[in-house]
Amino acid sequence: MQILPVMESVKDAIGYTLSNISLLVKAAMIWVALYTVMVGAFGFMGGDAYMQAIANFMQSAALEPAEQAGQFAKFYDILAAFGTLGNSLFLAMWVVTLLAYYSIAISWHRACLLDEIPPLARFGLLELKYIGYTVLLVLLILIFIGLPYIVLAAIAINSEIGILPVAMPIGLFIFSFLLLGRLSLVFPGIAVRDRRMSFRTSWQATKGNSWRILGGTMLCIMPALVISIVETLLGSLSLPLVILMPVQMILQLLSGAFLLSFMSICYQFLVPSPDAGDLA
């Protein structure tokens, strides 16, 4: 059983990311350019009012039910006024963001593990497989975490407890991250076309390293927290959407790169090197 050197792995992940920003730029530039064009069109069609309506609607969660209904009505009116084309454009922007993440994730894993120079843009069956496993992982998390939480909540409501003890949701939350870490090595394996990789293989490879992977993940999130603070500050500057939203996208991709680097290093250290016949 391999024991992951956490601090060394985190240091390598952060160091690799910061020293290879140019590769991230190359992998992301086409996607960011496409997204910027779409945001420009979105802003021209009244995107500022649209985004403000979304912000107001999200804040309405803390309002009284009657006030929530009023906020929802205003939100619906703005969506309707924006028209089918405008709403479709907004949806397309998020689809492009999603596709960009998976395209860049594959390119970044391959750069980390194979020293491959990322293409300007990529999207094909490999990315679709990556997305498919992401959906499966989310479903697994919902089954193993969501269902027990619902059962516990129902028991609490129908018993003298009244509410769930704080330890229960916190415990489920931590368990979900431990499960996520144990299964996540399937993703760099998919990126390098390792036929052996599955959730079962990832689970076996990470045996004895659950807390180490979780700890390393938390440490790799620290740079992302700094980036999120910068992102929040930018949001308070009232910048035009055509500047603000692409910059936010770039910062989010950079945040994700730290975790992708750590996942790649965990895969490289914990999973036995594939033979030629193991690679597609």
List C-alpha distances in Å: 183 to 33, 48, 92, 121, 143.
33, 40, 30, 27, 14
Whether 221 shows a pLDDT value over 80: the answer reads yes
Higher pLDDT, residue 147 or 220 = 220
Contact predicate 258/21, CB 8 Å: no
Residue 222: pLDDT band with limits 50, 70, 90: confident
The answer to whether 184 and 270 are in contact (CB under 8 A) is no
Domain ranges for the chain: 6-278
User: Does residue 279 contact residue 195 with C-beta atoms inside 8 Å?
Assistant: yes
| Residue carrying structure tokens 């993940």 | 217
Task: Give mean pLDDT, residues 226-248.
Answer: 83
What pLDDT was estimated at residue 113?
A: 93
Backbone angles phi, psi at 117, to 5 degrees: -75, 125
Residue whose C-alpha is closest to residue 168's, from 184, 154, 148: 148
Average pLDDT score over the chain: 84
Q: Which letter, b or e, does each residue of 168-187 get, where b requires 16 or more Cβ atoms within 10 Å of its Cβ?
A: beeebeeebbebbbbbbbbb
- DSSP category for residue 184: T
* Cα separation, 216 vs 7, whole angstroms: 7
Region of poorest pLDDT, from 124-138, 141-155, 160-174, 234-248: 160-174
Write out the two tokens for 181: 């870490």
- Asked if residues 261 and 17 have their Cβ atoms less than 8 Å apart, the reply is yes
Q: Residue 265 pLDDT more than 90? A: yes
User: pLDDT tens digits for 169-198?
Assistant: 677 778 888 888 999 999 999 999 998 999
Lowest mean pLDDT among 20-34, 125-139, 156-170, 194-208: 156-170
Chain length of the chain: 280
The pLDDT of residue 131 is 94
Maximum CA extent, the chain:
64
- DSSP for 186-212? HHHHHHTTBTT-SHHHHHHHTTT-HHH
- pTM, to two decimals: 0.85
